Structure 1
Amino acid sequence: MTKLMCRIVMMIAVAALVGCQALQSQQPLPLRGTGDLGLIIERATGSVLVVDHTERDVLGRVEGLGDLSHASVVYSRDARYGYVFGRDGGLTKVDLLTMTIANRVIQSGNSIGGAISQDGRYVAVSNYEPGGVNIFDSETLETVLEIPASYVNAQGEQDQSKTVGLVDAPGNHFVFSLFEAGEIWTVDMMATPPEITRFDAGKEPYDSLITPDGRYYIAGLFGEDGLSMMDLWHPEQGAKTILPGYGKGEQRLPVYKMPHLEGWAIADGQAFVPAVGRHEVLVADMKDWNMVQRIPVQGQPVFVMSSPDNRQIWVSFAHPKNNVVQVIDSQSREIIRTLEPGQSVLHMEFTPRGEEVWVSSRDSNRITVYNTRTLEEVTTLPAQKPSGIFFTNRAHALGL
């Protein structure tokens, strides 16, 4: 090759490199952390908003996530990726920094939520149709394990149960409930192969929670008054019923929306739990799990959530009284404020240290931000039929 040809080739290479750099500089990625970011579900449009709760700002929208009419989110350990569980069985991995879909799979016909393992390696999805739990590699979304929720029904036939209340637990476990089967299953992902253990529970567990220390798994029961609780430190003891017969002798109201136990409240050694089909928040002493009080509220509670400092309990409600939020003082156990964030309140999320709470109002197409000290509105943000709000601090909490 002549010197002239070498010079021409070099000039072309340099020009190409400069051109690539110029193209990249037009759309630079911001250099920032993800600790104050989050995702908000826009349930009617199959999209999520990427938000910044420090600046109280919407950074962008990611579309193409399918049916999000009932959706939830968990986060990778580095809080860069959000895993969105859609109602259509879709599992979507969203990159918060590039605001794009990193990966997406359709893993069932109808799913109801999921969890990420303690070590961050596995993402598990809970399914209504065909039932069971599917577990995926969090990096690639390749299938690791399929767990059919098989049981013998009342007719003595083999059947499949809906699975609900899926959470992560210490020791790299997953725990979930079977609605029709009335069982609680644990999955040990440290074992080779993963080890599944079954326990009898109460009638029709519909949702569940795990205490912040990961010790107690508690499933709400739709088929009877009470909750089914397992001590995960002593799983050999099985599940026992707590708060049995809390509505005995009373007429049960029509249930317009099932309560969610995920955001349940623990404050000053007390557990605040929504009562199914009643206008009450139940208070249980966590020493013996006996009920100590019923707090009358204005409707059927859906979310009963404590602020990070445990001083306040925020309660949202089912239709038709779902346009308000009531705030309970955890010490006096009295309602201290009734707020009106908008039409059809669906979800609440506290900022990590609890100075503010974000509230979604589906039919008002907005998010309302409140100061938790003054209980006054700080700002509102536009959103398209918003529902779930999920901040990235969930990446570092059990059961969220």
Structure 2
Amino acid sequence: MLRGTGDLGVVIERADGAVQIIEQQSRRSLATIQGMGDLSHASVVFSRDARYAYIFGRDGGLTKLDLLAQRIDRRILQAGNSIGGAISQDGRLLVAQNYEPGGIRVFDADTLAPLADIPAITSAGRPSKVVGLADLPGNRFAYALFEGGEIWLADLSQPRKPSVQRFAAGMQPYDGLVSPDGRHYLAGLFGEDGLAMLDTWHPERGAQRILPNYGRGQEKLPVYKMPHLRGWALTSRHAFLPAIGQHAVLVADRQSWQPTAKVPVLGQPVFVMVEPTHRRVWVNFAFPDNDKVQVIDTDSLQVITTLTPGKAILHMEFTARGDEVWLSARDSNEVVVYRTDTFEQRASLPARSPSGIFFTWRAHRIGM
């Protein structure tokens, strides 16, 4: 049958190295594709036409999946240990970020042919893990060096002749994200409090330190799982971010980057994600509260409901216009679908140890 790709998505089945292709409106699985390798820490980006999903696996695998033909189009092993990737603004370049051997590698999105290899070497001359890779306008990419304590800005407008700028960030950056307009790149710091922010419109100003009290130094509880910055909620006015080692979501002003409120929640938050309408923020938690999800009203800054969707809620994904949210319940072996306005459960789809859920609307967003 003829089918468009705008209503499709993929669900990572991490235990089996498999990917489900799902259809959102019918809330059903169309196919399960095996042979993806180690998906214990997988990420996905989409081609510009949303026909192909590119899966970056923990084992260094890069797989091009044809969503319409429901088969693997191409697959390579590009590194020994990888934790994700990104696609360029024009859709022509794929970039993988690597733990081993470190650095980033650039590939042709059509053929997966290698175009460039940029090692990550610290100022002391040692290799570094790369984290927090994000695409930027102009076929640029920002990422951080965990051991190097730096943010690198790579210009790949000429992919066979890349140029790189380096900026001091702080101790052990562990993740990063870019604002929806592609202007500001933020790196979280594992080794000290605070975050580093680079204005990619004016990189000559260097990386600025913001939220100096944010981080491990103020923790009052053991940290069971470090939050993912890519799961922050950025609205036009505020940033909602998981407090590290606390049962709270912090709210910061996006102009001054000063904290303005703290919303108490039942556990240690991992993902703090905003609906496309910016009306509500959804929060999942680290063990032992990872069977629950709480919803915060962005106007009142109050928790308005607590849901128990299943065991080990790992990831949340909204539909493009925000009418539904899909939740992966790893230990319940299912994906659960809720309405965002009434919090009514609409569907449950079987999946073996599901983790990441990625919809094709991501093809048209920066930093996704």
> By the TM > 0.5 criterion, same fold?
yes
CA distance in 2 between counterparts of 1:183 and 1:249 reads 20
Matched, 1:234 2:202: yes
* Residues 180-199 of structure 1: pairs in structure 2 closer than 5 A: 180-191=147-158, 193-199=161-167
CA distance in 2 between counterparts of 1:246 and 1:68 reads 30
Could you tell me which of 127, 130, 137 is aligned with 1:170?
137
Could you tell me which of 159, 182, 191 is aligned with 2:126?
159
> What's the counterpart of residue 96 of structure 1?
67
Contact 2:195 2:214 in 1 (8 A): no
* Residues 71-90 of structure 1: pairs in structure 2 closer than 5 A: 71-90=42-61
Distance change >3 Å, CA 109–CA 276, structure 1 → 2: same
Distance change >3 Å, CA 342–CA 309, structure 1 → 2: same
CA distance in 2 between counterparts of 1:249 and 1:150 reads 27
CA-atom RMSD in angstroms:
1.3
Q: Deviations over 1:32-84 (max 9, x none)?
A: 11000001000000000000001111001010000000101000000000000
Could you tell me which of 14, 36, 43 is aligned with 1:65?
36
Structure 2 gaps, min length 5:
none
Q: Deviations over 1:241-262 (max 9, x none)?
A: 1110246984442222121111
Contact 2:333 2:350 in 1 (8 A): yes
Could you tell me which of 332, 337, 355 is aligned with 1:364?
332
CA distance in 2 between counterparts of 1:249 and 1:184 reads 22
Q: Secondary structure at the match of 2:231?
A: coil
Q: Secondary structure at the match of 2:314?
A: strand
Contact 2:219 2:244 in 1 (8 A): no
CA distance in 2 between counterparts of 1:247 and 1:257 reads 13
Distance change >3 Å, CA 55–CA 181, structure 1 → 2: same
Percent identity, please: 59
User: How far is 1:289 from its partner?
Assistant: 0.8
Distance change >3 Å, CA 168–CA 251, structure 1 → 2: closer
Contact 1:360 1:366 in 2 (8 A): yes
> What's the counterpart of residue 115 of structure 1?
86
TM-score, length-scaled by structure 1: 0.90
Contact 2:189 2:215 in 1 (8 A): no
Contact 1:350 1:358 in 2 (8 A): yes
> What's the counterpart of residue 265 of structure 1?
233
> What's the counterpart of residue 134 of structure 1?
105
Contact 2:282 2:295 in 1 (8 A): yes
> What's the counterpart of residue 322 of structure 2?
354
**Partner amino acid for 1:345?**
I
Contact 1:267 1:330 in 2 (8 A): no
Q: Deviations over 1:69-114 (max 9, x none)?
A: 0101000000000000000010000000011000000011110011
Q: Secondary structure at the match of 1:395?
A: helix
CA distance in 2 between counterparts of 1:224 and 1:289 reads 17
Distance change >3 Å, CA 268–CA 151, structure 1 → 2: closer
CA distance in 2 between counterparts of 1:138 and 1:249 reads 41
**Partner amino acid for 2:161?**
P
CA distance in 2 between counterparts of 1:250 and 1:358 reads 33
Q: Deviations over 1:267-303 (max 9, x none)?
A: 3500111122222211110111111111121111111
CA distance in 2 between counterparts of 1:135 and 1:249 reads 36
Deviates more, 1:126-135 or 1:261-270: 261-270
* Residues 273-352 of structure 1: pairs in structure 2 closer than 5 A: 273-352=241-320
More helix by share: 1
Name the count of aligned residue pairs: 367
Q: Which runs of 4+ in 1 moved over 3 A?
A: 246-252
> What's the counterpart of residue 392 of structure 1?
360
Structure 1 gaps, min length 5:
1-29
User: How far is 1:330 from its partner?
Assistant: 0.4
Q: Deviations over 1:132-179 (max 9, x none)?
A: 1111000010111111110134xxxx2111100101001110110111
Contact 1:222 1:276 in 2 (8 A): no
CA distance in 2 between counterparts of 1:226 and 1:177 reads 15
Q: Secondary structure at the match of 2:224?
A: coil
> What's the counterpart of residue 12 of structure 2?
41
Contact 1:368 1:381 in 2 (8 A): yes
TM-score, length-scaled by structure 2: 0.97
**Partner amino acid for 1:270?**
H
Contact 1:267 1:311 in 2 (8 A): no
CA distance in 1 between counterparts of 2:94 and 2:349 reads 31
Matched, 1:200 2:171: no
